Structure 1
């Protein structure tokens, strides 16, 4: 096992769990959304607003496909699963863990989606976004961790156990 890439919906805890997971494993931690913002010198919301959804996906694909790290936990943006090249690269560099969360819990955790830089089509709801992305997360995941009814510590333990077994949790 080299890198661990966390995928999942916005609000699933990729960054929160990723930081703690990296500490526990003695790994580095990066958040690919922050790399995108640094390279583009714009926020995610600004990129989406200025370049449109397809332009944002192109940037997200380019940045994630170019990540070259070792022994690192990588928290990705929720829309990275639209970027096949990036996902193939991340899979080739380590294990991909899908942090699965129910739509009900997700809607309780999330506030303003646009303010978070969430890639939404015109008129798209959280429910339709969830239904669209879930099969993609499952497609790319090496390990699926169901976070329902878990706090940060509980989710972290599930991830660690699943990584040890190398199987779905």
Structure 2
């Protein structure tokens, strides 16, 4: 029985900080599993008809979070999806009810890796007007207790490429499913 068979159509939701590799890893996972891939930021932009930066500028973070929740709610109604979420999706408690429709995977990249990947990125509203290292450290401190609620944690290092992260993610998901199946048999 393959991992795709064991998943039985259950969605995968990738959470973690911006720059952790959720979008690139999500696309690779979807291709491997024969799932569809969605990035919540891209879906929000398509629905709103404007980039995330413009939504933040014109309507604020709260309006963006509402759109993000609506997109997550709609996506969670489907099966066989890999969904890369925005880094702050975990900050809205009600989003967890949608995330728990599937397997939640935390791509955990250290601040040094995030800073290297995000330096010079001008498209991220939460990074505007502040020292990058300070902002990333602050956001990670706020979000880390929420990220730890994930079903699977995948450590992401500076030297890891997308294929390596995707392979490690699939192995950890498979391990999680097998251990849950073993627990169910014992109970």
Calculate the TM-score normalised by the size of structure 2.
Answer: 0.80
5+ residue gaps, structure 2: 1-6, 178-187
Give the number of equivalent residue pairs. 164
| Alignment-derived partner of residue 167 in structure 2 | 157
Pairing partner for 2:94 from 85, 106, 109: 85
The Cα shift of 1:58 comes to 1.8
Which structure has the larger Rg over C-alpha atoms? 2
| Alignment-derived partner of residue 117 in structure 1 | 124
User: SS of the counterpart of 1:119?
Assistant: helix
* Aligned: 1:102 with 2:110: yes
Contact 1:5 1:74 in 2 (8 A): yes
The Cα shift of 1:52 comes to 1.2
Distance 1:53 1:122, change over 3 A: farther
The Cα shift of 1:163 comes to 1.0
Pairing partner for 2:57 from 34, 49, 58: 49
| Alignment-derived partner of residue 156 in structure 2 | 147
User: SS of the counterpart of 1:66?
Assistant: helix
Contact 2:16 2:147 in 1 (8 A): yes
Contact 2:37 2:82 in 1 (8 A): yes
5+ residue gaps, structure 1: none
Cα RMSD (Å): 1.9
Output the CA distance in 1 between the equivalents of 2:58 and 2:32: 39
* Aligned: 1:75 with 2:84: yes
Contact 1:6 1:75 in 2 (8 A): yes
The Cα shift of 1:119 comes to 3.4
| Alignment-derived partner of residue 66 in structure 1 | 74
Calculate the TM-score normalised by the size of structure 1.
Answer: 0.88
User: SS of the counterpart of 1:12?
Assistant: coil
Contact 2:19 2:114 in 1 (8 A): yes
